[in-house]
Amino acid sequence: TGKALAETTTVDIVTGADVLEYYAGLATAIEGIQLPLRESSFFYTRREPLGVVAGIGAWNYPIQIALWKSAPALAAGNAMVFKPSEVTPLTAIRLAEIYT
């Protein structure tokens, strides 16, 4: 990324891992709710993905910001199109390898 290795490993990667862990846990909890209306009927909601989500990355925290944008979108079942900073394109490629 062009950043100091110590800063990348202590800030970008650690907080990025926290984001992945949080949204991975949240993905299993996303569900609709069921509410009674009358004696013989009920109402329920169903959570559905929106579709394709777009994200634009930054050069200063490329891994962290990419994870902030992609983890919630993917956990909700959406597809993600991510445009990394032109200065740090390899971080997005590596992140795509991790996701797949």
> Which of 1, 11, 6, 16 shows the shortest CA–CA distance to 86?
1
Tell me the pLDDT tens digit for each residue of 66-75: 999 999 999 9
Averaged pLDDT for residues 78-100? 91
Instruction: Give pLDDT, residue 1.
Output: 59
Assigned superfamily of 5-99: Aldehyde Dehydrogenase; Chain A, domain 1 (3.40.605.10)
pLDDT of 5 above 80: no
Q: Where are the domains of the chain?
A: 5-99
What do you get for the CA distance between the two ends of the chain, in Å?
21
